[in-house]
Chain A
Amino acid sequence: MQRKLLAIIVVVIIVVAAVAAIELTPKTPSTPSADARNIVIGLVAPLSTSIGQDMSDAAQLAAKEINDAGGIYVKDWNTNVNVSIVNVNTIDDAPSNAKTPVVQAVESEHVDMLIGGYGSAGTLANEVVAIDDKVPYIITGASNQLVTRRGPQGNYGGFGVNGANSITDSEGVSYIFHYCTTTYHYSKTVVDFFATVMKPMVAPDRNFSLAILYRNDAFGQGVDQATKYWIQNESLPITLTERNYDPTTAKTSGYQTDLTAVAASHPDAVFIVDNPDQTPLIIKQGWNEVGLKSVYIAVENNQDPTFYNLLGSTGDGQLLESKMDPFMTPSYSQVVQTYVENFNKTYPHVMPGMMGADTYDAFYIAKDAITRAGTVNKTEVRDAIENTNMNQMLIQTKTGKIQFSTGINYHEIDPVTFIEQLKWDSTNSHLTSQIVWSPSGSTNLKQANFTLPTGYQPAQ
């Protein structure tokens, strides 16, 4: 009897062990789907500009990292696949040049997703293709808020259904995601800084006089509108003088006459809205040629090597609104420091810019979304991006998470912005920066107090 029982126990143990062994033995992967292929992402960028090159470098770096780590697992295909990049060169981001390459990418290259978009005017033109064809598009530049708010869910950006840029296709607009600061985000940071920090220093008993000099295109107009909105909406003690210029003419003939007119309005500070190849020239012409010894502030698209190189020593004491600074040593963020180091290993002697950083993050957002969606079906990927809840990467957000739908119907992140003051390092002959203000409610990133630039002349 005991033998019989022992035999039964032995048989049971053998069977259990066999079953366990079968279960624990790594399964031979079932065959990947015959449909499996690389995921094709269209990088929308003005590749003949330094910013476009930065976006391209960052995109290539992200794709390489993702592919080296095994690619992206797509459940539908039961396998990991690599990311391929299709360059969608928008030349100079003029609306006339920016749309056709996107049409080609969507209709001929059959991209699974679009990432990029720098100039607002060009992106407003080319995102229509993504809207019409229902292709997920993570926009990493183009700060004009209309890029995500031009549909019904954004109340047509406040311009009504018949607005020049309004789009009634709510479903189509839902494929657009803005992984970037909008003009409304950073214009608020800029005017709040002046009202809170600089006004008490230079205009304690009167309104602060701010002049805005902007390029007359979708980018410049967007910043101007947002600046006016916040001054009015928050009843800030700021008097705003507005002036704009034709970017093509001014690029050739200079900004000195516009700056002369700005000087005649006696501003306490000058808000320059242009790109990194022109903003330094405007500041230099204003300070050195017109004699407008003021505080100049530029916005975050100028967080680029071109801006720092061209501005040189004239930048000492001037301001830059930003959301990510790769030039600060030591860096305010370990993640940013690591990115710069990895970037430099891949691209020796090339400094990364901020626009590339947005693009870099967007590739990981795409990876996360496709992995969760388990498919490259565009509608399901759109839904997955909408439900993104990743930890913040290079761009800091107010919640510490990357989320596109924080109580709003259009898809925007809520980034942390801050104001930096530039300092000329005469020993090493380059500009450095320090964070002098970040809005209340954000992570306190402040590193130093703001001081007026040497030679600053107050408004008279």
Chain B
Amino acid sequence: MDITAPTIILTLVWGVAIGCIYILLATGLNIIFGVMKLVNFAHGQLLMIGAFLTWSISVSLGLNAYAAIVVSMVVVAALGVAVERLTFRRVLGTDKLNEIFVSLGLIYIFENAAMLLWGTGSKQITSPFYGSSLSLPGISITYDRIVAVFVVIAALVAFGLLLKKTKIGLAMQATSQVSSAAMLMGINVEKIYMFTFALGAALAALAGGLYGVIFSFDFQVGAMPTIIAFAIIILGGLGSIKGAIVGGLLYGIAEQLATLFLGGIWGSAVAFALLIVVLIIKPTGLFGQKGE
């Protein structure tokens, strides 16, 4: 096998592209944890629903796949509101086990609902850029991967601005620090929780739409990305958005480079080994702080 510079560059591109999707998922998971202190194991299932909705909207309405993703984000955000109000709100602040079991139960509910609605077969969202690539010397990258990277960058910038420049973003930050103090300052914490969950769900739907354009998916697609997203936020530091970004990129690149040099069966093993090494050296993760 000839490992040339273009091969390595291409592998890094694959790592960044897949890492970007993980970042979106991890960021959504992270803000929900950061603000609500809630560990949602069913977050990957929101990605799955986002992918299916994008596919359905795209097929049934003939909408451009990327426009369909936006519609899907709105629908999944509304679903997130319903989930937060009907399930998590009832158990939030009680025993952590209650929250965990609610989220585990939601995995089965979402997966079975998806199986009933969309069947057991795999699907892939047809992109308007299908089959088109950007050709550079020695390498060629599909436009869908490039679009995915830029969409993720745009989403993260928008998310950063929302957090720092808007009233609701500041309220989210305040709630994430000490919710009782935020409440005393007049912040409607329940509304913030609802908004946070909807935002996290919308990011998961965005990740699902982008994922479904690049990969095929079925009703069980959410499980592994959830595990990876958890690994990424632990690697980057619980509650840290910067950590999720760096962790996602590190994970994606480590996985793809290990696949190239050691073989496909080593991708996840090396990526998780990296996670363990980071935790040994810095138990709070790369950008985590004590007490989080």
In the complex the two chains form, is B216's CB within 8 Å of A278's CB? yes
Q: A84 within 8 Å of B by Cβ?
A: no
Q: Chain A: interface secondary structure?
A: helix
With beta carbons under 8 angstroms apart, the residue of A245, A252, A280, A313 that contacts B265 is A245
In the complex the two chains form, is B11's CB within 8 Å of A260's CB? yes
- A260 CA to B18 CA, complexed, in Å: 15
- A277 CA to B123 CA, complexed, in Å: 8
In the complex the two chains form, is A250's CB within 8 Å of B11's CB? no
- A280 CA to B124 CA, complexed, in Å: 10
Q: A249 within 8 Å of B by Cβ?
A: yes
Q: B4 within 8 Å of A by Cβ?
A: yes
In the complex the two chains form, is A53's CB within 8 Å of B214's CB? no
Of the listed residues B11, B119, B216, the one surrounded by the most CB atoms of chain A closer than 10 A to its CB is B216
In the complex the two chains form, is A277's CB within 8 Å of B216's CB? yes
- Chain A residues lying within 8 Å of B225, measured Cβ to Cβ, are 252
With beta carbons under 8 angstroms apart, the residue of A49, A253, A265, A281 that contacts B216 is A281
Q: B98 within 8 Å of A by Cβ?
A: no
Q: B180 within 8 Å of A by Cβ?
A: no
Task: State the Cβ distance, A430 to closest chain B Cβ, in Å.
Answer: 14
Using an 8 Å CB-CB cutoff, how does the interface string of A256-282 with B read, 1 for contact, 0 for none? Answer: 111011001100000000001110110
Scan residues 216-233 of chain B and give those whose CB is less than 8 A from a CB of chain A. 216, 218-221, 224-225, 228
In the complex the two chains form, is B263's CB within 8 Å of A260's CB? no
- Chain B residues lying within 8 Å of A280, measured Cβ to Cβ, are 124, 216
In the complex the two chains form, is A265's CB within 8 Å of B1's CB? yes
Number of interface residues of B (CB under 8 A): 44
- For residue B3, which residue of chain A has the nearest CB? A264
In the complex the two chains form, is B122's CB within 8 Å of A310's CB? yes
- Chain B residues lying within 8 Å of A312, measured Cβ to Cβ, are 126
Using an 8 Å CB-CB cutoff, how does the interface string of A226-254 with B read, 1 for contact, 0 for none? Answer: 00000000000000010111101111111
With beta carbons under 8 angstroms apart, the residue of A249, A254, A291 that contacts B140 is A291
Q: A216 within 8 Å of B by Cβ?
A: yes
In the complex the two chains form, is B265's CB within 8 Å of A244's CB? yes
In the complex the two chains form, is B14's CB within 8 Å of A249's CB? no
Summed over the interface, the residue pairs from A and B with CB atoms below 8 Å come to a total of 119
Task: State the Cβ distance, B251 to closest chain A Cβ, in Å.
Answer: 10
Q: B166 within 8 Å of A by Cβ?
A: no
Interface bracket on A = 35 or more
- For residue A304, which residue of chain B has the nearest CB? B121
Using an 8 Å CB-CB cutoff, how does the interface string of A87-126 with B read, 1 for contact, 0 for none? Answer: 0000010000000000000000000000000000000000
**Contacts A261-B1, A277-B218, A310-B122; A245 near B264 (Cβ below 8 A):** yes
Q: A447 within 8 Å of B by Cβ?
A: no
In the complex the two chains form, is B220's CB within 8 Å of A92's CB? yes
- Chain B residues lying within 8 Å of A253, measured Cβ to Cβ, are 18, 252, 255-256, 267
- For residue A289, which residue of chain B has the nearest CB? B142
In the complex the two chains form, is A249's CB within 8 Å of B122's CB? no
- Chain A residues lying within 8 Å of B123, measured Cβ to Cβ, are 310
Q: A306 within 8 Å of B by Cβ?
A: yes
- Chain A residues lying within 8 Å of B18, measured Cβ to Cβ, are 253-254
* Additional A-B contacts beyond A250-B267, A253-B267, A291-B140 (11; CB < 8 A): A48-B115, A245-B264, A249-B265, A253-B18, A253-B256, A254-B14, A257-B14, A258-B264, A260-B7, A261-B3, A278-B122
